[in-house]
Structure 1
Amino acid sequence: MTGYSPAPVDRAPARPAGGPAPARRAPRGTRLERFAPLVFVAPAVLVVVLLRLWPLLLGVNFSFTGDGVRNGTAVGLDNYVTLFGDPLFRTALRNVGLLVLLLPVAVAIPGLLATFIHLKVPGHRVYRGVYFFPAVLSPVIVGAIFNLLLAFDGPVNAALGAIGLGPVDWLGDPGVAIFAVVGVHVWATFGMALVVFLAGFSTLDSSLLDAAKVDGASLPQTIRHVIVPGLSRTIQFVFVTTMIGMLTSMFGLLYVMTSGGPAGSTYLPEYYVWFQQGNLNQPALASAASTVLFLIMLVVGLAQIGILRRAGKED
C-alpha cells in the first residue's frame, strides 16, 4: 500500500517583521483605462494645435517682420508703433470700447426674451421660431435689407416723419452709424444666444421658481434672485461668445452697410485687418492688428468671467 503524499503548496516568502510591504502592481486593464481618454481626445487636440495654435504663433511671429521692401526682415515693434499711430486703428479701438459698453444690452435682450418664453407667455411657441429666424440669414442679406430700411429716404425715416420726428442719417452720420450697425448685428444674432438661454433654463430647478411665485416675488425679483444665480454659468458663456461675435463676426455687415465709413467711424479691428491685407497689401501690419485683436478678446473675456463669478458669489 502506497503512502499518501499531499500536493506541494506554494507559500509566499514571509515578510520580515517591520519590513516594507511588497509593491502591488497596478492591473494592466487599469493602466489602459487611464490612457483611453487621451487616445480619444488626441485627434481633436491635434486639429486645434495644427489649425489654430500653430497659425496663431506664425501670425504673431510674422507681425515682427516688415512689409514691402523690408518683407521678411525683422523690424521689432515697428509694426505696433505704426499701428497705434494710425488714426483708423485708434478709431477701431474706441469702437471696441463702445462694444464692451453695449455688451450687457446685447446679452440682456435674448436673456429676457428667453425668460418670457420659459414662463410660457401667450404665443411663446411662435416667438421661439420668429426670434431665431434672423440667425439663419446671411450677413450680406441682412445688410442689404437694412440698407433699404435705414436709407435717408427709407421706410424708417418715413415712419419717424409721420410722428413728427425729423429724419436721421442712420448710415451717413459718423455719430450714429456705428450704433446702427451694432443694433443690426444684435438683431441678426441674438437668436443663437436665445437658444443657449433656453437650454440653460432646462437645467434650472423649477421648484425655485414655484417657491418664488408662492412667496409673491415680482418678476424683477425672480429674475435677480432666482434666474440670474441659477443661470450664472450660462450667462458667462453668452457674455464671452457674444463679445467674440461682436469682435470677429461683423465684417459682412460693415462691408455691406458702411464699408468702414463715414470717415472711418465704423472701423473695427477685423475690418482694419482686412483693409491692410486686402487693399494695402501690408500683411505684417495686418498680423500685428490681428495679434492686438486676439489680446483684446483674451483680456475682455477673462475680465468678464472674473466679474460675473464675483457677482455670483456675492449673490
Structure 2
Amino acid sequence: MPIGSPSPLVRPAGSGRAGAAAVTHQGRPRDARRWRAERLAPYVLVAPAVLIIVVLRLWPLVLGVNFSFTGDGELNGTPVGLSNYLELAADPLFRISLRNVGLLVLLLPVAVAIPGLLATFIYLRVPGHRVYRSVYFFPAVLSPVIVGAIFNLMLGYDGPLNALLGTVGVGPVDWLGDPGLAMFTVVGVHIWATFGMALVVFLAGFSTLDASLLDAARVDGASLRQTIWHVIIPSLTRTIQFVFVTTMIGMLTSMFGLLFVMTSGGPEGSTYLPEFYIWHQQGQMNQPALASAASTVLFVVMLVVGLLQITLLRRAGRQD
C-alpha cells in the first residue's frame, strides 16, 4: 500500500452518524413534499367534479327550496312561509300523485325481478341467449314518445290487443280509459321500455360471481329456485341495491314522456305523478313557487325511499 494513502479502515471525515444524519436531513423535506403531493392528488382530481355538482346541482336545489317559500302571481318573491306546502296538502291531484308513488314502490320488486331473472337465464346460457340480450335491450334505445305512441295504438279500445282478447271470448278492456287500470298500464309499459338498462347492470354483476359456487350448488342437486335464492341473490346484493335505487329514481323522474303521450294525467287525474304535477303547475298554471314546493317534496320522497331501500336490503343481506 503506498505511503500516505488512507487506510481502508479509516473512515473519512463526516462519515458515520453525522453523514447519515446529513443524508437523512436532506432527504426528509423531499419525502415530506412527495407525501403531501400524494395526499393532495386525489382531492385535486375530484375537485372539478365536485365543483360541477355544487354549481349545477346543489346550488339550484338550494335556490329551489328557498323559492318554494315565496308566493306566486301578485306575491311573486314575497315570503309566504308554508302556504305552498299547505296548498299541496289540500290539492287532490297532488294527493293522487303521492298515492301513485306508493303504488310504484309496491310494484318496484316486479320491475327489478324481471330484468334480474332474464339476466340469470342469459348468464346460465339458455339457448339463444345472445339474441335475447339484444332483443331485451332494444326498447331502451327508443324514445318514450315513440313507445307511448306505439302502445297507444296497441292498447286502444279497438286496438289489436283487444281484438286478440276477443278471439278467446274476453270483452274489450279500456286499458287507458279506466281510472283503476290506467296507472298499471302505464307502469307496465315503462317497465318494458326501461328494463334493458337494469339487465345490463345485472349482467355486469354476474361477471363478479364466483362460478365455483354455482358448480357446488349443481353438484349438491340444488334446483334453479334454490340456486337463485341461496347463491345468486346473496352474491349480487350490491348490484341489487343499485338496481333498486336507480329503478325507483327512474320511475319517479322519467315517466313524464309516457304519461304525456298516453294519458296526459287522465283519466280523472288517476295517472298523475309528482313529476307530471310539477310540469302542470309550472307550465300550464304558471305557478313556479308551488311547482318548486312540489319538487322539494319529490326530492324528500326520493331520498327517504332510497335510504329505506338500502337499509332493508342491507339487513336482508346480513341475515342471509
TM-score norm. by structure 2 comes to: 0.92
SS at match of 1:59: helix
Return the match for 2:171 from 159, 166, 175. Answer: 166
Return the match for 2:235 from 226, 230, 237. Answer: 230
SS at match of 2:175: coil
SS at match of 2:115: helix
SS at match of 1:57: helix
Return the match for 1:245 from 246, 250, 255. Answer: 250
2:256 is equivalent to residue 256 of structure 1: no
The residue aligned with 1:9 is 14
The residue aligned with 2:195 is 190
The residue aligned with 1:69 is 74
In 2, Cα distance between equivalents of 1:99 and 1:177: 13
Q: How many matched pairs?
A: 305
The residue aligned with 1:123 is 128
In 2, Cα distance between equivalents of 1:52 and 1:219: 44
**Mapping 1:1-315, distance limit 5 Å:** 8-9=13-14, 27-315=32-320
Cα displacement string for residues 116-171 of structure 1 (whole angstroms, at most 9, x for unaligned residues): 00000001000000000000000000000000000000001011111111111000
TM-score norm. by structure 1 comes to: 0.94
In 1, Cα distance between equivalents of 2:209 and 2:259: 38
Cα shift at 1:9: 2.6
SS at match of 1:27: helix
Percent identity among equivalent residues? Answer: 78
Cα shift at 1:303: 0.2
In 2, Cα distance between equivalents of 1:210 and 1:100: 35
Unaligned runs of 5+ in 1: 13-23
Give the aligned residue type for 2:79: A
Cα shift at 1:97: 0.2
Cα shift at 1:7: 5.7
Give the aligned residue type for 2:211: S
Unaligned runs of 5+ in 2: 19-27
In 1, Cα distance between equivalents of 2:253 and 2:240: 20
In 1, Cα distance between equivalents of 2:12 and 2:310: 71
In 1, Cα distance between equivalents of 2:208 and 2:48: 31
Give the aligned residue type for 1:128: R
SS at match of 1:172: coil
Cα shift at 1:27: 2.0
Give the aligned residue type for 1:311: A
Q: CA RMSD in A?
A: 1.8
Give the aligned residue type for 1:303: L
Give the aligned residue type for 1:268: L
Give the aligned residue type for 1:154: G
